[in-house]
A and B are shown apart, each in its own frame.
Chain A
Amino acid sequence: MACIRIQAGDFSVDQEWSALRERLDANAGAVAAFVGLVREVHGDSRSSLELEHYPGMTERSVEAIVAEAEQRWSLAAVTVIHRVGRLRPTDQIVLVLAASAHRSAALAACEFIIDRLKTDAIFWKRETAGDDTRWVQATDQDVERAKGWAGN
């Protein structure tokens, strides 16, 4: 029941929301949504972010995250869209929608998926600000957050 897409183009939250609702039956009482936006780098509004992925393996890494969420919680529907390519500050970069009978499962699954996208999905970010360009390093904080789900 999951809709997973890796794409260069933008997405419409309205359209994805409508598409998800069409997949729900009358038992679904909650949908949690997360949208990630690109921040500017070091206060430079002309900075940019480039996302690289490994076609095929990246899709499967996201599918595995969603499959784990579906095992942990009873989910009516899930949508994950992650963009790749060159993005600008304020652009949408990632969308997670998780639907369930009740809010606790929907909210927890949504948070779980976005935490795992940070640490387990196959993407690499490169920031460019002015003449300076660098590959983003994984933060210990992200790794700790994702690990926090291991014991739950």
Chain B
Amino acid sequence: MIRVLFFASLREAVGMDAWTFSPDSAGSPPRLSSLLAALKPALEPDGYAALTAENVRIAVNQEFVDGAARIDLKPGDEVAFLPPVTGG
């Protein structure tokens, strides 16, 4: 099981703060692309569009990842979708 988190405006866009991804146990390790494919039917089109917007950053186990779609995931991983930050 892989825990998926949505923050701030993305949490509202997808209508939930967390989701669980249970990849097929058979076959090659799941990637972020397969996570997104599994998530898509659970979302409204607007929510999916918000998640895949260019300025959204993805963290795996609280580290930003680049070229995210090809990252291999493993059970127990935490994947987070983060909109642009506005602190300070």
Contact = CB atoms under 8 A, between A and B. Distances in A.
* Secondary structure call for the A interface: mixed
A124 B9 contact: yes
A103 interface: no
Interface stretch (B18-26, B27-35, B76-84): B76-84
B62 A60 contact: yes
Contact of A57 (B62, B83, B86, B88): B62
Contact of B8 (A52, A115, A118): A52
A56 B87 CA distance: 15
A136 B85 CA distance: 9
B80 A54 contact: yes
Interface in A62-116: 82, 94, 114-115
B36 to A, nearest CB: 20
A31 interface: no
A152 to B, nearest CB: 19
Nearest to B11: A52
Contact of A124 (B5, B7, B59, B62): B7
Interface of B: 5, 7-9, 59, 62, 80, 82-88
